[in-house]
Chains A and B, each alone.
Chain A
Amino acid sequence: MSTKNKRKKKQREERAFREVEREREQTLRLRKPTTKQRMLYFFVALIMNALPTYLFFSIYEMDLLKSLPLFGFVSIVCSIILSMGYHNVSFFLKHRILKKTGVNFQKKQTKKKVAGGEREERQKKQLESSITTQSVSLSLLYNSLFFLVIVLIFAFYITWIFEAHTNYILSLAIGSSIVTYISSTKIQ
């Protein structure tokens, strides 16, 4: 092979490697939730855990004051598990939507200032933030609905034979675990 062809081949390989690295960096950037996102997921998960808690204390007649420590502990643990599920789905959706838009979100590192380049960068940022909002809101909607359905099925049809406290722990724990597990399989 001539040196010219060898050089061209090497340049092609380097370009492909850089492309892969860019994608990996973008993926890694999206993979970790920001503090704001973490707080939002946890807050929404806490509300979603409070809804079945209301049903247990009203329909299964669990004493609210006596069971408050149990409600608090189980709600917090299940909210943490559920918030991981929220982020998994949000990450998966964002990645998919970004690819679908067909817009290159990487900053062009050129020495020359391109006309209208700053405006384009601003629009890209706005687009990325609206895609983030879209993926987060869809993830919250989908996972919350899924979680409620699973908890209600377990609480009233499967684990109802147990005593109220055991039923509460099982239904919420199983619900949040299933939602998070299924969301993690989507990413894989």
Chain B
Amino acid sequence: MKILLLIILLLTSFVFAAEEQANLVVEKDILVTTLPHTEEEFTILYTIYNVGNGPAYDVRLQDAENFPKGKYSTVLSQIDTNWDIVEAETNTTHAVILKRHAVGSDFIGPAKVLFKNTPNGQDITSTSTYIGRLNFTPKSPGESRKSPNWEHWIIFSVVAALVLVIPFLLFKKSEKKKKRLTMNLRKKK
């Protein structure tokens, strides 16, 4: 009896092991070095990892709820997208560039990812990580002025120096010639 139960358990475990299942882990990230201001572009990156042992079919990313059209506009790409298949032990990414128009604070929640284990199977939902609260303030006119901008100043200084050196060299050259000619004319007198 015990041996029979063990055999049945072993067989069922093999069956379950043979059944391929996708398992999607979704990461949602904002790619900025400083907090974005209103009318400033920022990038949202979605990375979908299939950590299961089977492919995920008909994968759909839905995140438009977190970025309503009245407040945000897409600059590049689109928020909601889909993939036909995401193979097991692979990942895929999707990036969208957005801009917020109004001043305010928003909680950027998780995105929803729907997928199927088989082409005609049922939908399975997975949620991504979330970004959290973002405060959008208007950009002050002095902000870019305060940052170092070393490379721009170096380029400006080099070009200005080149432009000013040329008249200086011309002045020195003509001064020597003038001295020589003045001395010659004064000698003759």
Contact = CB atoms under 8 A, between A and B. Distances in A.
Interface of A: 44, 47-48, 51, 54-55, 58-61, 97, 101-103, 116, 120, 123-124, 126-127, 130-131, 133-134, 136-138, 140-141, 144-145, 148, 156, 160-164, 167
Contacts of B178: 97, 101, 127, 130-131, 134
B163 to A, nearest CB: 6
B177 interface: yes
Nearest to B149: A59
B144 to A, nearest CB: 6
10 contacts: A51-B159, A103-B186, A133-B174, A134-B171, A138-B167, A138-B171, A144-B163, A160-B141, A162-B141, A167-B141
Chain B contact surface mostly: helix
Given A51-B159, A54-B155, A141 B168 contact: yes
Contacts of B160: 51, 148
A121 B143 CA distance: 62
Contacts of A124: 185
A179 to B, nearest CB: 15
Given A59-B149, A123-B185, A162-B141, A51 B163 contact: yes
B164 interface: yes
Contact of B188 (A44, A51, A120, A140): A120
B89 interface: no
Nearest to B152: A58
Interface of B: 141-142, 144-145, 149, 152, 155-156, 159-160, 163-164, 167-168, 170-171, 173-175, 177-178, 181-182, 184-186, 188
Nearest to B142: A160
Contact of B182 (A103, A116, A141): A103
Main secondary structure of the interface of A (DSSP, over half): helix
Given A137-B170, A138-B171, A59 B144 contact: yes
Contact of A55 (B156, B181, B182): B156
Most chain B beta carbons < 10 A, residue from A47, A58, A137, A145 = A137
Contacts of A61: 144
A91 to B, nearest CB: 16
Nearest to A55: B156
B171 A59 contact: no
A34 B182 CA distance: 25
Nearest to A163: B141
Contacts of A48: 163
A103 B174 contact: no
Contacts of B167: 136-138, 140-141, 144
Contacts of B181: 123, 126-127, 130
A47 B171 contact: no
B166 to A, nearest CB: 8
A124 B149 CA distance: 51
Nearest to A100: B182
A-B complex: 8 closest residue pairs judged by Cβ atoms? A137-B170, A133-B174, A137-B167, A137-B171, A134-B174, A140-B167, A127-B181, A141-B167
A139 to B, nearest CB: 8
